[in-house]
Chain A
Amino acid sequence: DVKVTQSSRYLVKRTGEKVFLECVQDMDHENMFWYRQDPGLGLRLIYFSYDVKMKEKGDIPEGYSVSREKKERFSLILESASTNQTSMYLCASRMDTSGANVLTFGAGSRLTVL
């Protein structure tokens, strides 16, 4: 089974801190995604990557950046955390750019910014 591992389940940071959320998948998937999930809003796509060193903005990229230096790892970076970035962050991966390929999600990282 594909495994998507998010490094931290719970984080508490202060306003202005730089935050790294790490995601690793173990099945050589080409595509990786970062979503945030907030009550009543469903999942919203922040960034995605079709391949190493490639990135595309999703629906809400402001305040975030990403890094994909290796195929298995996709990092989400909050350069200067703000309280409105308190949320659940979900990483997902998929084999390639085909609609028939399913998304596999990690367990999520709950970030609280004080």
Chain B
Amino acid sequence: DAKTTQPNSMESNEEEPVHLPCNHSTISGTDYIHWYRQLPSQGPEYVIHGLTSNVNNRMASLAIAEDRKSSTLILHRATLRDAAVYYCILIDNYGQNFVFGPGTRLSVLP
């Protein structure tokens, strides 16, 4: 099963951009890259996903490396409410391999 690796924790200042990296060197051609985040005392929530091209939505941007072996979630202006654990996972075209690792705990400093 394709796995992802992320830093355990990162820190950012409020209103600055945040780049959260994810390595997935064993990704297959049909794997989608999904990002979720989990706020304290809540279930994970969807942030963004992509296959090959970079993606933007109202929450964040997803930059996918050309070889697809890594990706970066970009929060353009971090707020205190963005403090959460961020998970990068791979889901294949059959909808399987949805393995959540420990994720990256993002702290946002005022």
Contact = CB atoms under 8 A, between A and B. Distances in A.
A107 B42 contact: yes
Contacts of A98: 93, 95
A2 to B, nearest CB: 10
A42 B41 CA distance: 14
A103 B36 contact: yes
B103 A42 contact: yes
Interface of A: 4, 31, 33, 35, 40-45, 59, 90, 92, 94, 96-108
A104 B95 CA distance: 14
Given A104-B46, A107-B43, A99 B36 contact: no
B30 interface: yes
Given A99-B31, A99-B32, A45 B98 contact: yes
B95 A35 contact: no
Contacts of B49: 100, 102
Interface of B: 30-32, 34, 36, 41-46, 49, 51, 87, 91-96, 98-103
The secondary-structure label for the interface of chain B is loop
Contacts of A59: 99
A96 B93 CA distance: 11
A42 B95 contact: no
Contacts of A42: 87, 100-103
Given A4-B43, A99-B51, A102-B49, 7 more contacts: A41-B102, A42-B101, A90-B43, A92-B43, A98-B93, A99-B94, A103-B98
Given A42-B87, A106-B43, A31 B100 contact: no
Given A99-B32, A105-B45, A94 B95 contact: yes
Contacts of A99: 30-32, 51, 91-95
Contacts of A107: 42-43
Given A42-B87, A42-B103, A43-B100, A90 B44 contact: yes
